[in-house]
Chain A
Amino acid sequence: MRWGVLQFPGSCDERDALHACGLLGEARLVWHEERDLDGIDAVVVPGGFSYGDYLRAGAIARFSPAMEAVAEFVGGGGPVLGICNGFQVLCEAGLLPGALLLNEDLRFHCRQLDLIPAADWADGPIRQGDLDVSARRRALSIPAKHGEGRYYAPEEVLDALEAKGQVAYRYAPGQNPNGSARDIAGVRNEAGNVVGLMPHPEHAVDPLTGSTDGLEVFEAVAEVRA
């Protein structure tokens, strides 16, 4: 498995993403001016503040040559994982539904939280506020750190996402840090090869930092290719 990790001016989590991908295969950085994704099996759009978050988070990055290549890659069924700012970029690019707005309380939140893989797996979808999650599925302990992570989509779009199993991750009950609609932390596209989430699985891949649960998020992306 060969991973490509995009790097924009203002990215800041690409090194950790590269490290995480390196644990599962080969990995290299892809500079934002590159168009060539040849030989890459999966792409990570990492966190940070691409192009200084000017205008809106992710708004400028979507026009970069590398993102044009990613759009083609997605069209060909290639798996893409967007983390935090990368999630914002994928939404702005129209590769994922919805948008990320300022946190409800206007604060930048940085904390370890529990993330529930939320849909489409063997035991069915986890609904918002489902308190029985521990019995049904283990939560992933993963840090989140963002000021603009409030997931928004119109109600009818949210209903469609739930119905089609496109809600990929939810904050565990009571842990929604930003006011996201229906506790949504991450979504996937209809084809299932693009997934984005606000929390940072790349910071949870080494026992040194307290959790290795983040690897499961990368592994789920790798499975799309398999």
Chain B
Amino acid sequence: MAAARARVLIRPKEGILDPQGKAVERALPALGFEGVEHVRVGRMVELEAEDPERLGELCEKLLANPLIEDYEIERLDGGG
């Protein structure tokens, strides 16, 4: 069985101060990009998994810290 390809997007939970996002937001006007707000900086992990059923568990235990981060799993090979 071919491994499933997936992309995991991890971002700071709503309501948690994201100083990286704030710093990016503050830098934008200086470069002429006005009107950009609510910038949040997260991480992206791409992986191939033999057992895609376990991706959620893998995110909960390692890729994200569920106390402070939300994650979303995107299948890149059409699987669900």
Contacts and interface: CB of A to CB of B under 8 A. Distances in A.
Interface of A: 55-56, 59, 63, 92, 98-99, 101-106, 152-154, 179
A3 B16 CA distance: 37
**Interface SS, A side:** loop
A179 B18 CA distance: 12
A103 B19 contact: yes
Contact of B19 (A56, A63, A106, A152): A106
A102 B67 CA distance: 15
Contacts of A98: 67
A55 B17 CA distance: 19
Interface of B: 16-17, 19-20, 23, 62-63, 65, 67-68
Contact of B65 (A92, A106, A179): A92
Contact of B20 (A55, A106, A152): A106
Contacts, number: 29
A98 B67 CA distance: 7
A106 B68 contact: no
Given A59-B62, A104-B17, A179-B17, A152 B23 contact: no
25 contacts: A55-B62, A55-B63, A56-B65, A59-B62, A59-B65, A63-B62, A92-B65, A98-B67, A99-B65, A99-B67, A101-B16, A101-B17, A101-B68, A102-B20, A103-B19, A104-B17, A104-B19, A105-B19, A106-B20, A106-B23, A152-B16, A152-B68, A153-B67, A154-B67, A179-B17
